[in-house]
Amino acid sequence: GIRQCYTDIVKAEKTEDWNSALKATNRLLKKFTKEGKIAFKCKLIALIQLGLWEDALLLIKKTPAAEMGAAHFEKAYIHYRTNENEESLEELSKCHPDDVRALELKAQLLYRLDRFQEAYDVYKHLMKNHSDEQDEERKANIVAVEAQLA
């Protein structure tokens, strides 16, 4: 049933068995069409985790926004991974200005594009307004940016 599908998806996330997660989301979408919104989002995450960039972009393109919710960050991340930097920045501009995920990715993109001062400014803003278990790695990224500014 539905609950078993979700249990399988969560279990698959814990073990990083994203092929199983994808199969469970496909079961959901086929058998329980009312689960659409959340099931589409789960499928998108599984496709990204599997590095199936084209499939992930196609899913976003084919799925009306009302059926998946906003996927601007996820779309920007796919473009980032496929080195489509301008497309990624364009998609990030559609995210909320305080969206931590979007800011983190924007800083990475700006660094990649050698826009070091802008990257530094984004990181400064992030460090001031946000803290999580990745603070140490974030500091290392900032040091890398600073090295380019010096």
Partner 1 sequence: KPMFFDLAASYIQLPDLRERM
Which residues of the chain form contacts with partner 1 (CB under 8 A)?
2-3, 6-7, 9-10, 13, 21, 38, 41-42, 45, 48-49, 73-74, 77, 80, 100-101, 104-105, 108, 111-112, 134, 137-138, 140-141, 144, 147-148
Amino acid of residue 148: Q
Tell the smallest beta-carbon distance from residue 48 to partner 1 (Å): 5
Q: Which does 74 bind (CB under 5 to 8 A by kind): K ion, partner 1, none?
A: partner 1
End-to-end CA distance of the chain: 59
Tell the smallest beta-carbon distance from residue 47 to partner 1 (Å): 10
DSSP 84: -
- List interacting residues with K ion (CB under 5 A): 108, 112
Q: Which does 104 bind (CB under 5 to 8 A by kind): partner 1, K ion, none?
A: partner 1
What sign does the dihedral 40-45-47-53 (CA atoms) show?
A: positive
Tell the smallest beta-carbon distance from residue 85 to partner 1 (Å): 13
Question: Burial, 27: exposed, middle or buried (Cβ in 10 Å; 0-12, 13-18, 19+)?
Answer: middle
Nearer CB in complex with partner 1: 62/135? 135
DSSP 132: -
Q: Which does 57 bind (CB under 5 to 8 A by kind): K ion, partner 1, none?
A: none
Rg (CA), the chain: 17
Tell the smallest beta-carbon distance from residue 15 to partner 1 (Å): 13
* Length in residues, the chain: 150
**H or E element in which residue 37 lies:** helix 36-49
Helix (H, G, I), strand (E, B) or coil at 143: helix
